């Protein structure tokens, strides 16, 4: 039976779309739901265009257990965070041990933690004069960006790079690696 996947996203959804397209013709994986905490996020349009049902929810609904109930009702086996900005409640983490993965736009443990996301990460990397950045794909635990690392990929940061330049390089790594890493993790379940 195909593994049922839920993708959580908060923004434009380019990673979510890349993942959905990657698994479109894979009979062993079904992207069943896109869950989003922002009703105007472009990921909802992407999901609709790709024929994947989506659910918009509030932080309160997630904290009160409604989202965990939905995941159980939909028989979700695995959760992917693709640009999702809320902390996943401990109850969901406990229900899905080593079955929730996240991608972070830096080489953790550097530039991780509460408030470190998107351009804020790239601005901090450039401001610190780092010579490299990259992505970290990791399991989600009860703390921001501190679950076990599954995979990292690096890119060079040139002295002339702007945060936008770093973002472009990091996005390329995300698109190249996130779907394949998810696939390799799913194969071990």
Residues identified as active-site: 104
Sign of the dihedral defined by the CA atoms of residues 103, 107, 113, 118, in that order = negative
Partners of 36 in the β-ladder: 9, 56
As beta bridge partners, residue 54 has 34
For tokens 């599954």, the residue is: 150
Query: Quick one: how far is CA 99 from the chain centroid?
Result: 12
- Measured CA angle at 115 (ends 32, 59), to 5 deg: 45
Let me know: does 87 contact 143? Beta carbons within 8 Å.
Answer: no
């Amino acid at each position: 039976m195909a593994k049922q996947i839920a993708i959580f996203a908060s923004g434009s959804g380019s990673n979510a779309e890349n993942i959905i397209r990657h698994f479109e013709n894979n009979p062993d994986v079904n992207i069943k739901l896109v869950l989003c905490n922002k009703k105007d996020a472009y990921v909802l349009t992407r999901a609709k265009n790709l024929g994947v049902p989506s659910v918009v929810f509030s932080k309160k609904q997630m904290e009160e257990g409604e989202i965990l109930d939905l995941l159980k009702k939909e028989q979700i086996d695995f959760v992917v965070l693709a640009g999702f900005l809320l902390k996943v409640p401990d109850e969901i983490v406990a229900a899905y041990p080593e079955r929730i993965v996240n991608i972070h736009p830096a080489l953790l443990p550097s530039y991780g933690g509460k408030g470190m996301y998107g351009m804020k990460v790239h601005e901090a990397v450039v401001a610190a004069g780092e010579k490299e950045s990259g992505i970290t794909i990791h399991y989600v635990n009860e703390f921001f960006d501190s679950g076990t690392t599954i995979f990292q990929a690096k890119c060079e940061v040139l002295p002339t790079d702007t945060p936008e330049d770093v973002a472009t390089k990091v996005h390329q790594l995300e698109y190249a690696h996130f779907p394949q890493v998810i696939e390799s993790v799913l194969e071990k379940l």
